[in-house]
Structure 1
Amino acid sequence: MGTDAHVVVVGNEKGGSGKTTLALHVAVGLLRLGFRVGCLDLDAHQASLTRILASRRAWGERLAAALPHPRVEAVAPSSLDSRAAALEEERDRLDCAVAGLAAVCDFVVIDCPGTDAPLSRLAHLHADTLLTPINDSPLDLDLIGRVDPLRRALVAPGPYAERVWEWRRERCRRHRAGLDWLVVRSRLRNDGGPALAADLVGPMAQVLGFRLITGLSERRAHRDLLLWGLTALDLDQPGLGLDQTEAQRAAHAEARALLAELWLPRVAGRL
């Protein structure tokens, strides 16, 4: 792996948590700061990140706008019948893909499927930074930690938190650097309602070893831009003709604040 490459894995074993949206914003944000970025899509079924980035390239070409683009690759699950042989093949495919991108990029962003798939588990072992988006839902919280509803207190780690602990131990065994785990509050509401995630997950952070940060709000500005593979960080791009509305400027500030909270190497100085 390239000595300067930092691997960001966006993982959560539940669908609909906002992984691909988060991966796109991180990749575009790093590109906008002048970094070389590679993206690895592990969701062979939906291929959402691959399709969104294809739309981004097509839209930029149509408008003759010099949009920055990451290198994009995909790794599909093995079709071998033997479970052991399939796992070995997937490991080799993933290692080669990550090493190839890391050799020419400053950052590699890996978008994992929303299932407990072997390929996803292997990807987590590459993570220097792990981003786990969660919605403000008890179902999402249950993956992180089991909560007593009466005492509103953590009683046991959730299945995903237990696996993060295993991945950390395995990385140490392989003499790799530590893993910075961030739980990202995703699709936040702007209606002033109670924030279940902040109330319950916040106290779990020190016990389970993660940082809780604020992600992207449920803004129409984010959703509309996503159709074209764009983000609020592209608002200043010449040739796109995007309106600078107050809502879009707020979305832009929110996306930049997210980048700052990730504490990725060499990012703070460029922000």
Structure 2
Amino acid sequence: MTQPHVIVLGNEKGGAGKSTLAIHIVTGLLHAGRSVAIIDLDLRQRSMQRFFTNRLAWLAANNQQLPQPFMPDMGDGKALAKGGTVEQIAAFERAFDEAVAAGVDAILIDTPGGDTAVSNAAHARADQIVTPMNDSFVDFDLLGEVDPVTLDLLKPSIYSESVWEARKVRAISQGRNATIDWLVVTNRLAVAEARNRKRLEERMNKLAKRVGFRVGPGLRDRVIYRELFPFGLTVADLSNDIRPVAVSLAHVAARQELRNLMKAMGLEQALAPLDVAA
């Protein structure tokens, strides 16, 4: 059996936009004709899983069809969140094995904001880690430490060390040639240029060379991403038949952002042009 491509959305800080990126990557893959399984390890909130549950309800209510990911059963998330580490990892491994057995092309795993054993287990399974961060030194602090006076890069920080550990675990279990591609994307950018963005980008590029990640484009802070979430839809789903909100040129730009993200990940995608005139 061909092994699926495993994508982990990871960042130990909450609020960076992991779930927003996750749902857009999944829908981008689905519209490219890929079969995708999703595993939501944010056991209490489960934003990604709720998104695709909403998607089913909206499509049924509006007599429409769109591709849907495979969702292996992990059980009651809140009960698991209250349970022990062994129980959580066992549930994750059962769901992962179920996804592999389903023969999907890709498995996308959304992880919680924090250092947890089940998140570490997911990272060690990754072929690719995608880490969103806001254009802020608050978020950068999880990746690298900077001098408080000069802002010079000092050393990798806690999340970089976690990814390094995941790479070691993968190399031990699958051989020295087994690698994890790590892509860090600056997410939720304001449309206006931030004053500190250039300084942050310089430190990002230095750290990328030091710890081995690539820097890619994320998604701007656009209203359309929030507008479509309750329906279980993304800009990839909009068409002449499916447009629960009015379509504008801003939505075309949002779809191009998704294309750029998928390209940076090295994943093929095929989003049809969005007709704003109709």
Aligned length: 262
Q: What corresponds to 2:16 in structure 1?
A: 17
Q: 1:63 to 1:153 in 2, by over 3 A?
A: same
1:160 is aligned to 2:159: yes
Tell me the equivalent position of 2:191: 190
Which residue of 2 is the match for residue 178 of structure 1? 179
How big is the shift at 1:24?
0.2
Q: CA deviation at 1:88?
A: 3.6
Matches of 1:174 and 1:164 in 2, distance apart? 15
* Correspondence 1:37-76 to 2 at 5 A: 37-73=36-72, 75=74, 76=77
Cα displacement (A) at 1:3: 2.3
* Separation in 2, partners of 1:73, 1:233: 23
Which one of the candidate residues 202, 205, 209 is aligned to 2:205? 202
C-alpha deviation, 1:70, in angstroms: 0.5
Identity rate of aligned residues, in percent? Answer: 37
Q: CA separation in 2, counterparts of 1:36 and 1:219?
A: 27
Shift of 1:263: 1.2
Q: What TM-score, normalized by structure 2, do the two folds share?
A: 0.88
AA aligned opposite 2:213 = F
Q: 1:163, CA displacement in angstroms?
A: 1.1
Of 101, 123, 136, the match for 2:99: 101
Instruction: Report Cα offsets for 1:213-271 as digits up to 9, x if no partner.
Output: 1100011122211221211111126344554310111111111111111013xx26x57
State the secondary structure of the residue aligned to 2:155.
Answer: strand
- Equivalent-residue separation in structure 2 for 1:126 and 1:252 (angstroms): 29
Structure 1 vs Structure 2 CA RMSD: 1.9
Q: Does 1:221 align with 2:220?
A: no
CA contact (8 A) 2:131 2:184 kept: yes
Q: After superposition, where does 1:133-148 map in structure 2 within 5 Å?
A: 133-148=132-147
| CA deviation after TM superposition for structure 1 residue 156, in Å | 1.1
SS at match of 2:125: coil
Q: Which amino acid aligns with 1:206?
A: K
Please, which moves more after superposition, 148-157 or 171-180? 148-157
Counterpart CA distance in 1 for 2:81 and 2:18 is 23
Q: Which amino acid aligns with 2:210?
A: V
Range with bigger deviation, 121-130 or 227-236: 227-236
State the SS of the aligned residue for 1:66: coil
Segments of 5+ residues of structure 2 without an aligned counterpart are 272-278
C-alpha contact 2:145 2:153 (8 A) present in aligned 1: yes
Residues 72 and 98 in structure 2, CA contact (< 8 A), matched pair in contact too: no
Give me the whole-angstrom Cα distance separating, in 1, the residues matched to 2:189 and 2:154.
26
Letter of the 1:223 counterpart: R
**Do the aligned partners of residues 243 and 41 (structure 1) sit closer, same or farther apart at CA in structure 2, a change above 3 Å counting?**
same
Equivalent residue for 1:251? Answer: 254
Q: Deviations over 1:126-179 (max 9, x none)?
A: 110001110112221000000114333211111010111111011100015210
Q: CA deviation at 1:116?
A: 1.1
11-20 vs 47-56, which deviates more? 47-56
Structure 1 letter corresponding to 2:152: A
Contact 2:7–2:130 (Cα < 8 Å) also in 1: yes
- 1:211 and 2:209 matched: no
Compute the TM-score of the two structures, normalised by the length of structure 1. Answer: 0.90
Could you list the runs of 5+ residues in structure 1 that have no partner in the other structure? 81-85
Distance across 2 between alignment mates of 1:189 and 1:150? 26
